[in-house]
Chain A
Amino acid sequence: MLLTHSHTLLASPPCDAFLRLLNGRPVGEQKELLNKWNEMGTDEPDLSLFRPVYAPKDFLEVLINLRNPNYENGDSLSFRTHLGLIQVPLKVKDIPELKEFFVELGLTTGQLGIDDSTQVPPELFENEHVRIGQKVLAEQDSAAAQQYIRQGSPTALRAELWALILNISSQPEDILYYEQLKTNVIQHDLLVDSLIYKDVKLTASNDDYYFVFEDYLYQVLLCFSRDTSVLGHFAYNSASPPKSYIRGKLGLEEYAVFYPPNGVIPFHGFSMYVAPLCFLYHEPSKLYQIFREMYVRFFFRLHSISSHPSGIVSLCLLFETLLQTYLPQLFYHLREIGAQPLRISFKWMVRAFSGYLATDQLLLLWDRILGYNSLEILAVLAAAVFAFRAVNLMEVTSLAAAEAVLADLSTLKVMPLLQIFLFATVT
């Protein structure tokens, strides 16, 4: 059983005063929080003693050190030797396989993100595509929606299409469930709440696109950490939720509780999974449901260790393999100067590019995650970005300089990059 790194970090809390992981709130404080429910951003607790539990780069260190003890590599180096950071031999797709998998992204198929630009008359593709989307929604056909969205979703239809694909329909019981979670937040405060506040303040609050939604992020994430239904995803997640023990009963299983109640400890940048969704849903319980479903279907794979093809380990390996195989000169050069490409692209993939791409581009990317039910596109995009900036990267001589070349992705158009990398590059 593989442990998540976070276990060890949480075992040594920052300060003795915070040993209580869960506190009941006094009634006065409850009332105050209820009043402030819509503007928690303006009144956060003292966060100066808190640091995020772990950041992506800490997680990367863990992944780099993963080894399969049963696997015999052989002593001699060959052209098959993987020169990247990941040393676990998982099966990843090569470009021919990716072309087949992502066939709808091919050059002869219309795409939103390419064929809807202002120079292209809408009659050629966009109008028809919108019409089909409306039909799919009218028939409430989830499978058709998933197929349809591979070519991208029109902005006006996206919220409904995602809900259809994720099977989210706001029934009264869903709204009630959310309200119940909200009540839990009001009545008890969790130590992990401070981590959430800190994360939002460090990331989304400073973001040009998402700062507006700061308060929604608290509403979603505070409820999320109390949502025990999320524990269900551990049935197919090879990680396991951290446990805590009732005071004085350390080690006694009958007194073990999952902590936080949803089993997920937020890391630095976690709130960025929620932020882009705020552009689509402004009703809190719907926003919550969509996020929760996105998490238990996709995002959890980005920060837990498994052999799943969409798991972060496979994505890292896919990225490195694509680079080493199809851009060997660039890969060797970066390696030589101490700038292993994964060290730069890892944070993009862990966050599914949220906070790095412009929002409209990010949403086009996440359309394809839903459409293909796979996160592999993140690794392909990461490789495509390197390919795009290859000329500049060949000239750098340090990791810092390489980071600088790749610091700003906000002007990138993801679909052309992906299309060129997969379908228009001579391999």
Chain B
Amino acid sequence: MAGKVKWVTDIEKSVLINNFEKRGWVQVTENEDWNFYWMSVQTIRNVFSVETGYRLSDDQIVNHFPNHYELTRKDLMVKNIKRYRKELEKEGSPLAEKDENGKYLYLDFVPVTYMLPADYNLFVEEFRKSPSSTWIMKPCGKAQGKGIFLINKLSQIKKWSRDSKTSSFVTQSTKEAYVISLYINNPLLIGGRKFDLRLYVLVSTYRPLRCYMYKLGFCRFCTVKYTPSTSELDNMFVHLTNVAIQKHGEDYNHIHGGKWTVSNLRLYLESTRGKEVTSKLFDEIHWIIVQSLKAVAPVMNNDKHCFECYGYDIIIDDKLKPWLIEVNASPSLTSSTANDRILKYNLINDTLNIAVPNGEIPDCKWNKSPPKEVLGNYEILYDEELAQGDGADRELRSRQGQSLGPKGGRSRDSGRTVLTTWK
């Protein structure tokens, strides 16, 4: 029983390695007996693949779910959410309620999205309804803002139209598959700049769903003033908030890295917009994260050896509505500033405390219910077992230390009574 945890990783990042070493864990190689493997997404594919995969034993834990891509690939995420909505609609759930324009009241948190080339014709139909709109093209399998561009004319994506007719593109299309989404051209601006939110969410099990939200998320600001002007549609410094992109801008600052804490955002919004709308915004953000997890829970391989720490990207528009942009399976562990390094170090630390209790050799048969004291900067976002056990009120309270039951309840009463029953 007593023995040091043996760890492996194929991601050479100090925030990881320092955390393993400070626990006195022992580094081993992948071929030896290991207990904990922090792997890249390529490696998880191999571990669980039908041909090369191997059985994990009870004392082995990995940091990804086998088919995490159901949530973290842009096209699959949208597919799963659409499916989830339709299912709720079919069972007559009040969550799937729509307004007079046919828009979902509570589940409209992903911008209108189509897969290309498969949905090309559907997309064209939608595009023609509002021809002055801007759309954003994103390759399904890439990260860090690579390959993304904006369009406002059909001619700019003509090459995807030819492909939909030919069957030989079936295999090729997974490489060149794109999603095209309605671009949110009215983002909330602060100091005239566009920003997005990066929030970390830890999932320890999908069925029952148990997830935690890291309290210390951050905003990533563009270095250039935002303008929706069509002449600047290809200026990525205006539109894409990825640090990988912004850090090449002329005005990038290495001291603060263009990042703001979520608590700064909250202070700013409460001071300038008021407490109710700010609380409502943050409640909605929590809501959409939980809904996205619920949407993929049925199709997720809920392997007991797995946990996962996701990087959620959220954009807030100028009506203070949050939109889910994407979910990252391997959020960057590179640190762009000193504060960043501290944040990511603590993130890994708190994650390990929850995933590997007491820092001891894991037993994946445990109930995955860590005591409150080890949560660190995480707070329970949603615990399906608790929610089902004691009713809605208890779950709301367990959700976060701050805007507790009574406050949370009040903001829900304004026409959204459904949200008090997160089941």
Contacts and interface: CB of A to CB of B under 8 A. Distances in A.
User: Does A associate with B in a complex?
Assistant: yes
Max chain A CB contacts within 10 Å: which of B191, B224, B255, B256? B191
A208 interface: yes
Contacts of A155: 267, 270-271, 275
A154 interface: yes
A38 B402 CA distance: 36
User: Which 8 residue pairs are nearest across A and B when measured between Cβ atoms?
Assistant: A212-B191, A156-B275, A155-B270, A39-B225, A206-B255, A118-B401, A208-B256, A156-B274
A352 B313 CA distance: 37
A281 B255 CA distance: 25
Contacts of B193: 212
Given A155-B271, A211-B253, 12 more contacts: A39-B224, A39-B225, A118-B401, A156-B278, A159-B272, A206-B253, A208-B261, A208-B339, A211-B256, A211-B258, A360-B263, A363-B271
Interface string B293-328: 000000000000000000000000000000000000
Contacts of A238: none
A122 B275 contact: no
Interface of B: 190-193, 221, 224-225, 250-251, 253, 255-256, 258-261, 263-264, 267-268, 270-272, 274-275, 278, 339, 401-402, 406-407
Contacts of A31: none
Interface stretch (A55-63, A76-84, A213-221): A213-221
A211 B407 CA distance: 32
A229 B195 CA distance: 38
A207 B191 CA distance: 14
A280 B401 contact: no
Nearest to A213: B191
Interface residues of A, number: 30
7 contacts: A118-B402, A122-B406, A156-B278, A208-B255, A278-B191, A279-B268, A359-B267
Which DSSP category, helix, strand, loop or mixed, fits chain A's interface?
Answer: helix
Given A155-B270, A279-B268, A205 B192 contact: no
Contacts of B271: 155-156, 158-159, 279-280, 363
Contacts of B225: 38-39, 42, 215
Nearest to A217: B191
A208 B251 CA distance: 15
Interface in A136-190: 154-156, 158-159
Contacts of A41: 251
Max chain A CB contacts within 10 Å: which of B193, B268, B339, B406? B268
Which DSSP category, helix, strand, loop or mixed, fits chain B's interface?
Answer: mixed
Interface of A: 38-39, 41-42, 118, 122, 154-156, 158-159, 205-209, 211-216, 278-282, 359-360, 363
A281 B225 CA distance: 19
B258 to A, nearest CB: 8
Given A156-B275, A279-B268, A282-B272, A216 B253 contact: no
Contacts of B191: 212-216, 278
A227 B401 CA distance: 47
A214 B406 CA distance: 38
Contact of B221 (A38, A209, A212, A216): A212
A216 B221 CA distance: 16
B274 A42 contact: no
Contact of A42 (B221, B224, B264, B272): B224
A42 B256 CA distance: 17
Nearest to B402: A118
B192 A359 contact: no
Nearest to B273: A156
Contacts of A216: 191
Contacts of A38: 192, 225
B251 A42 contact: yes
Given A118-B402, A155-B275, A280-B272, A215 B192 contact: yes
Contacts of B253: 205-206, 211
A208 B259 CA distance: 7
